[in-house]
Amino acid sequence: GPSRRKTAVRETEEAMPDTPVSGGSGSQPVGFESQPATALGEVRELIRGNAGAILLVVLACLATAAVYLWFAPPRYVARATLLVDPASSSMPEEYYIESQTQLMRSDPIVRAVIGQFDPADIVQDDKTFILDQARTVKGLLGEFLPTTASSTQDADPVQDAVSTLRRNLAITRPAMTPVIHLAYDATDARRAADIINTLIQVYMSHRQRDGITSAQQSVAWLAQRLDVLRQQVDKSEDAME
């Protein structure tokens, strides 16, 4: 009867769970928390809990930068441009110009440049700040520590100067052009310019010597070839007689 029907409907309603009905694409289940909001809250809590450590790291970085700017010497860059003529070589233009850039970095050229300067001055131009400070500390400790014979023999100021000059020297070449750009980085503006000018002079002298040597070799080859041809002509004349 009607009473039984009402009782059945009431029992059915009580048995149904309290789940929301999804009425659209934007609906979410009850109790669901947004994931980005939760992650942002965790980051805030992490920052609040470690604010002292974070501030200490920032201050340490600023102090390190201030110490570097205070003690690091100013640097100067001298630049020059060379126009290379590949017509004097039988090599293809690309290979010839690339060989000239390698020639400027070669050991004979670099050592010839260093020979006109004090190697200790060039070593002072080392870009590596940590190595420069380590060298300073080592020099201070050397005044109080005894110097052994092996340490003095291992030190080679010329080789150190060669390594420093190569690190501070930049040689670039724009693609498909016979132009070579030179740049040298140093702690003294005059020394940077002098090293660039000396490098160009040594390179040009080397090319002139190579040109003279090549011309002498060509003349010697031609003379030898003329002797061979003269002997062949003499043999031909003797055979005709």
The amino acid at residue 153 is Q
Instruction: Say what the pLDDT of residue 151 is.
Output: 43
- Both tokens of 181, joined, read 């750009």
From residue 160, give the alpha-carbon distance in Å to each of 103, 165, 166, 167, 222. Answer: 20, 9, 10, 11, 45
Q: What is the DSSP string of 145-186?
A: SPPPHHHHHH--HHHHHHHHHHHHEEEE--TTSSEEEEEEEE
Instruction: Say what the pLDDT of residue 9 is.
Output: 47
| pLDDT tops 70 at residue 163 | yes
> Using an 8 Å Cβ cutoff, are 106 and 207 in contact?
no
Rounded to the nearest integer, the mean pLDDT of the chain is 74
From residue 85, give the alpha-carbon distance in Å to each of 90, 99, 207. Answer: 12, 13, 11
Instruction: Say what the pLDDT of residue 132 is.
Output: 55
Question: What SS3 class is residue 48?
Answer: helix
Helix H or strand E encompassing 78:
strand 76-83
Instruction: Say what the pLDDT of residue 23 is.
Output: 47
Q: Provide CB contacts within 8 A for 202, sequence distance 6+.
A: 109, 112, 113
Please indicate, yes or no, whether the overall pTM of this predicted structure exceeds 0.75: no
Q: Provide mean pLDDT across the span 150-178.
A: 82
| pLDDT tops 80 at residue 216 | no
Pairing between β-strand 169-172 and β-strand 179-186 as defined by DSSP bridges: antiparallel
| pLDDT tops 80 at residue 36 | no
More confident residue, 25 or 114: 114
| pLDDT tops 80 at residue 130 | no
Instruction: Say what the pLDDT of residue 212 is.
Output: 56
Q: Using one digit for the tens of pLDDT, what is the confidence trace for 168-179? A: 999 999 888 889
| pLDDT tops 80 at residue 197 | yes
pLDDT category, 150, cuts 50, 70, 90? very low
More confident residue, 150 or 99: 99
pLDDT category, 94, cuts 50, 70, 90? confident
Instruction: Say what the pLDDT of residue 162 is.
Output: 93
Residue whose C-alpha is closest to residue 126's, from 156, 68, 169: 169
- Both tokens of 205, joined, read 């002298």
pLDDT category, 167, cuts 50, 70, 90? very high
